[in-house]
Amino acid sequence: MTHPPFPFGPALLFCPADRPDRYAKAADRADAVILDLEDAVAETAKSAARESLVANPIDPARVIVRVNPASTPHLADDVAALRRTDYRTVMLAKCEGTADLVTLEDFDVIALCETARGVLAAPDIASVPIVSALMWGAEDLVASLGGGSSRHPDGRYRDVARHARSQVLLAAGAHGVAAIDAVHLDLADADGLRAEAEDAAALGFAATACVHPGQAEVVRAAYAPSAERLEWAQALLAEAAAREGDGVFAFRGQMVDAPLLRQAEAVLRRARSRTGVDGRTGTR
């Protein structure tokens, strides 16, 4: 099954849709800006936010619009506003099943699985052809369970949040769509954000969402492979090319087969997505 491509870099920055003065600045600081019609906008400001979205266009190739959940009366008005713009990538908040996607058939959809029902439905949601990515969210998930905190006092996610993160990543991978990691709300904890983003990149997430412009460069750096890891990938693939037809072989004390070669290729893709440079040849 063919899904829309996920064309964005790793740092996605939320911006309230009722703050058009921030649109361009947010887009400049991140790889894409998520213009938010949902949680960042008060109920009384939803209509004005839609008008701001229409009246203040920026490059649609770098914009995602988060729309309100299908369970609310706002989604129809959000979609009507989107049809007056050139924006065609939407993030559906609190997606809980394939039926929620029916009114978005003309868009590329990032489905936000952030409730218990949504996480359990992630495999079905990921199978819908208009879906380009899945994202998970910890805070709404824990709220949907009746809980009060997604993290331990030391900042580590509680087990149910870690399970949801894995479930959404596996569902995305099984259906060939991108996975987006959740926001890190502690703005002062750059080290924690960096560690989570490095872990996300290592596991195969395509991006991490940010809530502050200062987080974007931390995420970008975390997704970029280290010089040592890039050299390893280049050397391993060069060795594999020289040994074409040999099957399994030893490289720097490690047995190498097809899965390890695919990991090396993923490292090069991450390097290219950050710099535009082909890691194997050093050319643009």
User: Would you list which residues are annotated within the binding site for substrate?
Assistant: 66, 114
User: Would you say 62 and 8 are in contact if contact means Cβ atoms under 8 Å apart?
Assistant: yes
User: Would you list which residues are annotated within the binding site?
Assistant: 66, 114, 140
Query: Can you give the pLDDT at residue 143?
Result: 95
Residues 203-230 have a mean pLDDT of 92
258 has pLDDT over 80:
yes
Residues 130-138 have a mean pLDDT of 98
Strands (E), the chain: 11-16, 32-36, 63-67, 89-92, 108-113, 131-136, 178-181, 207-210, 249-251, 254-256
57-77 exposure pattern, b = at least 16 Cβ within 10 A, e = fewer: ebeeebbbbbbbbbebebbeb
- Per-domain residue ranges of the chain: 11-223, 227-275
74 has pLDDT over 60:
yes
Which of the four pLDDT bands, split at 50, 70 and 90, describes residue 260? confident
97 has pLDDT over 50:
yes
Query: Can you give the pLDDT at residue 217?
Result: 95
pLDDT digits (tens, 9 = 90+) for 265-281: 878 777 776 543 333 33
User: Would you say 97 and 70 are in contact if contact means Cβ atoms under 8 Å apart?
Assistant: no
Give the integer Cα–Cα distance in Å for 224 and 230.
9
Which of the four pLDDT bands, split at 50, 70 and 90, describes residue 95? very high
Residues 6+ apart with CB under 8 A from 232: 252, 264, 267
pLDDT digits (tens, 9 = 90+) for 164-187: 999 999 999 999 999 999 999 999
Using CA atoms of 136, 139, 145, 146 in order, give the dihedral in degrees to the nearest 10.
Answer: -170
User: Would you list which residues are annotated within the binding site for Mg(2+)?
Assistant: 114, 140
Topology adopted by domain 11-223 = TIM Barrel (3.20.20)
What is the maximal distance between C-alpha atoms in the chain? 66
| Percent of the chain scoring above 70 in pLDDT | 95
Query: Can you give the pLDDT at residue 236?
Result: 82
Quote the mean pLDDT of the chain: 91
Which of the four pLDDT bands, split at 50, 70 and 90, describes residue 1? low
pLDDT digits (tens, 9 = 90+) for 18-37: 999 999 999 999 999 999 99
DSSP assignment, residue 157? B
Query: Can you give the pLDDT at residue 279?
Result: 36
Q: Which residues pair with 73 in a beta bridge?
A: none
pTM of the model: 0.85
